[in-house]
Amino acid sequence: MALKSTIFKADLSIADIDRGYYRVVMIARHPSETDERMMVRLLAFALHADDALTFGRGLSTEDEPDVWRRDLTGAIDQWIDVGLPDEREVRKACGRAREVYVLAYGGRAVDLWWQNAREKLERQDRLAVTAVPIEASRALAQLANRSMRLQFTIEDGHVFVADVATSVALDLEILKSMLAGR
């Protein structure tokens, strides 16, 4: 019998330099998913917060991102993956979506992944790649709880995440920016 996903409720309050955003979201953690990965998915959601943004169906679903936004016609506006996705899958996503974002985490593994994928991915105009420092992703994992109230403050690549007892400050590292005009 397959293990079922664990449902987490995250009450997010997101403030960035130009707007305020508030939303309660449900996020399902796949049985093989770590708290660290789930929290990086929440971070990805916060960085791109929009009422049309939704979580993908999970790790076991191929050909679907971790987070995405579709327009009213069903076309994919934003495709957002976390972790270290296969560069072929990222290039394929660039052909399907208007914008593709990768939020990479994993410490030294990010450096190795980017070193191997960089040459092919730098040619993708619709792609932005950002790295989350290992200390930050691990600290985010410590905030994981079945019922969370999180405050995200985002400004110029600096993110501050807090719950009632703990806070995590992180600086994201831009590995690749999307080309202007996108």
Side-chain-facing half-sphere of 88: CA atoms under 13 Å = 1
Shortest CA distance to 54 belongs to which of 65, 67, 70? 67
Q: How confident is the model at residue 182 (pLDDT cuts 50, 70, 90)?
A: very low
Mean pLDDT to the nearest integer, 5-23: 79
Sign of the dihedral defined by the CA atoms of residues 163, 167, 169, 175, in that order: negative
- The proportion of the chain whose per-residue pLDDT surpasses 90, expressed as a percent, equals 70
| Mean predicted lDDT score pLDDT of the chain | 90
Determine the Cα–Cα distance for residues 136 and 74; give it in Å rounded to an integer.
Answer: 34
Q: How far apart are CA 110 and CA 66, in angstroms?
A: 18
pLDDT for residue 1: 55
The per-residue pLDDT for range 140-180, each reduced to its tens digit, is: 999 999 999 999 999 887 999 999 999 999 999 999 999 75
- The yes-or-no verdict on residue 181 having pLDDT over 60 is no
Which pLDDT band, with edges at 50, 70 and 90, does 59 fall under? low
The DSSP bridge partners found for residue 21 are: 14
Q: What is the reported pLDDT for 47?
A: 93
The model's confidence at residue 60, banded by pLDDT at 50, 70 and 90, is: low
Mean pLDDT, residues 78-106 taken together: 96
**Domains plus CATH for the chain?**
6-176 (3.10.640.10)
pLDDT at 11 (0 to 100)? 87
pLDDT score at 53: 93
Residue 134, CA atoms < 13 Å, CB-side half-sphere: 6
pLDDT digits (tens, 9 = 90+) for 63-90: 789 999 999 999 999 999 999 999 999 9
15: Cα separation from own chain's centroid: 17
CB–CB of 150/49 below 8 Å? no
Distance from C-alpha of 104 to C-alpha of 169, rounded to nearest angstrom = 17
Scanning 48-107, the segments in alpha helix (DSSP H) are: 87-96
The pLDDT of residue 134 is above 60? yes
